[in-house]
């Protein structure tokens, strides 16, 4: 079981602010990392799957970077909007065990 840490646990930002949060994981035996967004009363939805060191993915105002050598990934949200309010989960995959371990998430609230 991987030790996955996400920080901060929760975050309040004003509408229009940019923000970022971190997912840390053991760098050994790394294969892929998933980011999911989990809105209240909905199912988690995939944002990105990242596999290579230095990967950078972008979807609209949301982007993510990956550093597999030091074991972290950043998720950035530019110009936060109320609809970005959700819990953001990261999930590194330990490859050989073929299972995804989720962090406890960062709960983002964007204040209008």
Partner 1 sequence: EAGVTQSPTHLIKTRGQQATLRCSPISGHTSVYWYQQALGLGLQFLLWYDEGEERNRGNFPPRFSGRQFPNYSSELNVNALELEDSALYLCASSLGQLLLNTEAFFGQGTRLTVV
Contact 90, 75 (CB under 8 A): yes
Q: Which is nearer to partner 1, 31 or 74 (CB)?
A: 31
Other Cβ atoms less than 10 A from the Cβ of 98: the count is 8
Q: Which long-range contacts (CB under 8 A, 24 or more apart) does 63-67 make?
A: 64/35, 66/33
Answer yes or no whether residue 93 interacts with partner 1 by CB under 8 A.
Answer: yes
3-state secondary structure of 91: strand
Per-residue mark of binding to partner 1, 60-89 (x: CB under 8 A)? -----------------------------x
Cα 65 to Cα 35: distance, rounded to the nearest angstrom: 11
Stretch of 14-22, 66-74, 76-84, 101-109 lying at the interface with partner 1 (CB under 8 A): 101-109
As measured in angstroms, the least distance from the Cβ of 3 to partner 1 is 11
Q: Interface residues for partner 1 in 15-54 (CB under 8 A)?
A: 31-32, 34, 36, 41-46, 49, 51
User: Which residues contact partner 1 (rule: CB under 8 A)?
Assistant: 1, 4, 31-32, 34, 36, 41-46, 49, 51, 89, 91, 93, 95, 97-105
């Amino acid at each position: 079981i991987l030790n996955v840490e996400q920080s901060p646990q929760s975050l309040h930002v004003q509408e229009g602010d940019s923000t970022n949060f971190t997912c840390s994981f053991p760098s050994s035996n790394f294969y892929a990392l998933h980011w999911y967004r989990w809105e209240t009363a909905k199912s988690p939805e995939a944002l990105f799957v990242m596999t290579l060191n230095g990967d950078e993915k972008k979807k609209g105002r949301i982007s993510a970077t990956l550093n597999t050598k030091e074991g972290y990934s950043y998720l950035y949200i530019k110009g936060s909007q109320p609809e970005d309010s959700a819990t953001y989960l990261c999930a590194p995959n330990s490859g050989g065990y073929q299972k995804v371990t989720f962090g406890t998430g960062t709960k983002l609230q964007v204040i209008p």
